Chains A and B, each alone.
Chain A
Amino acid sequence: MKRRSTVAVFAVLLLWSSPALAWDPFREDRLIEPAPPERHPDPDPAPFIAPPPGIYYVTDTYVADVVTSSGPVTTYSTSTIHESTGSYARVLDTVGTGASSAFDGTAFNGRRALGDGRSVAGTYYENYVLGAGGFVPVSVVFFQDDAETARLLAATPAPHVVKPAPSVPSTPSATTRPFPPTCCAARSVPTIASPTPAPPKPIRPGISLLPIGAPLATLEVLRGRAISLWPRAFVDDREVPVRSWTVIAGDPGEALVTSGPGAVPFRTSWRRLAPPGAAYEVVLRLEVDTADAGRRIVDAAIAVIVRSPALDD
């Protein structure tokens, strides 16, 4: 009886059985025809930032102001070197001889004066660096382009101006006649052009990690690592004292102060990494004491690349 009942129960269960289909979580996904994937253009790893109108890429870099004299002509020009430092520039103002400009006093190399005190002609340019936030102005430079003719006629004795009269013979001959004294010798007082002041030597600014370390143009620092940036300035190969400094452009990081005396470095750290391939451009404006030109203003820039230890695959 038990055996029959068991067989009957199994038979009923077999008849009532149905395929137990498991729930397919992706069933609805298959019914919907997948849309063709949108083709997004690959992101540009280093997007090109077009310079604003008027700003162009610098291919000739300022070296020094040049003053040359050729006879009575003194020429004021600017020497350049054909190289690119990665900076940009735009024309601020073009001024003529003696004309004043709103940018007088802003150029780090100054604007000279002619012998009569008038300012030389030339062009003001503003320099830019391309930082993470766009074009950052870093300095103003004046390209002088002028010339003057010194009134040195009397400085060297002209043969026709004054000539000592020879001893007059008692009987003048036809061949030797006394040189008539010029009527206006007394009035023609030669004016001598004031000597052109020696051009101030260019100041080479720099930033170093140590008070006596080598100036650096690029610096790699670890994220969050505190560093001290020492503003430096050199004339020729001699270091000149920096009176004060101020951060005028760029990301100063986690700095407590952004200005200070020259004896105190710029202390800061960066907690954020710059975008890949980019760097933080920091520009310090230095007030420098020079022996020949007194107090002058120069800008020192440094590119800071913040890195962080990471695991590699």
Chain B
Amino acid sequence: MVLTLVLAPLLLVVLAGVLQLGALRVAAARVRAAADLATLVAVNDQDEAELARSGTLRLSPDAVDVAREYFARELDLSSALLDGAADEIAGAADVAAYASAPAYDMRTGARYDRPTVRIAADVPVRTPVFGALVLRAVTTIHVLSVSSPR
């Protein structure tokens, strides 16, 4: 009886932590998918005039705006998990479009051999159980997504 009274709260805490950790991983996957989809959409939008002139694929001039817009749209589908508005999170994201190649990413140091769109964002996700366990109530997920036509 005493053992049960002692162990039950501990088991509940462990169980809650595990569930919160799983939820956090699901949220991270959704955020990552949102960024991936946004970069893919932006790369799929090509500069038609440049294509007709030179025959080569080049990113549309508004590729950054397109990526940011679709990132916000996709994050909005997971708004219940976020600790902030999707528009604000997407607006604060570091979105870069490298219209011509080769190019070097000053943030990551990567070299891009094709026209590339890159999103780097910090997405705050609510973790109330962690907050109740004297941990952080908001966990920030760092997401980096890079896409190019190949």
Query: Interface of A with B (CB < 8 Å)?
Result: 208-210, 213-214, 216-222, 225, 307-313
Q: Is the CB of B44 within 8 A of A220?
A: no
Q: Is the CB of B57 within 8 A of A307?
A: yes
Which of B46, B55, B56, B148 lies in contact with A312, CB distance below 8 A?
A: B148
* Residues from chain A with Cβ under 8 Å of B110 in the complex: 312
Q: A209-B51, A220-B51, A222-B149 are in contact. Are A311 and B39 (CB under 8 A)?
A: yes
Q: Is the CB of A209 within 8 A of B145?
A: no
A219 to B50, CA, bound (A): 11
Q: Beyond the given A209-B51, A222-B46, A310-B150, could you list 12 further A-B residue pairs with CB under 8 A, ordered by the A residue number? A: A209-B52, A218-B55, A218-B56, A220-B51, A220-B56, A220-B57, A222-B149, A308-B149, A309-B43, A309-B148, A311-B36, A312-B146
Closest chain A residue to B43 by CB distance?
Answer: A309
* Residues from chain B with Cβ under 8 Å of A218 in the complex: 55-56
| 21 interchain pairs, CB-CB under 8 A | A208-B52, A210-B52, A214-B52, A219-B51, A220-B56, A222-B44, A222-B57, A222-B149, A307-B57, A307-B149, A308-B149, A309-B40, A309-B43, A309-B147, A309-B148, A310-B40, A312-B110, A312-B112, A312-B147, A312-B148, A313-B146
Query: Interface of B with A (CB < 8 Å)?
Result: 36, 39-40, 43-44, 46, 51-57, 110, 112, 116, 145-150
Which of B53, B116, B150 lies in contact with A308, CB distance below 8 A?
A: B150
* Residues from chain A with Cβ under 8 Å of B149 in the complex: 220, 222, 307-310
A309 to B149, CA, bound (A): 4
Q: Is the CB of B150 within 8 A of A219?
A: no
* Residues from chain B with Cβ under 8 Å of A220 in the complex: 51, 55-57, 149
* A218 CB to nearest chain B CB (Å): 5
A208 to B55, CA, bound (A): 9
* Residues from chain B with Cβ under 8 Å of A221 in the complex: 51, 57
* Residues from chain A with Cβ under 8 Å of B55 in the complex: 209, 216-220
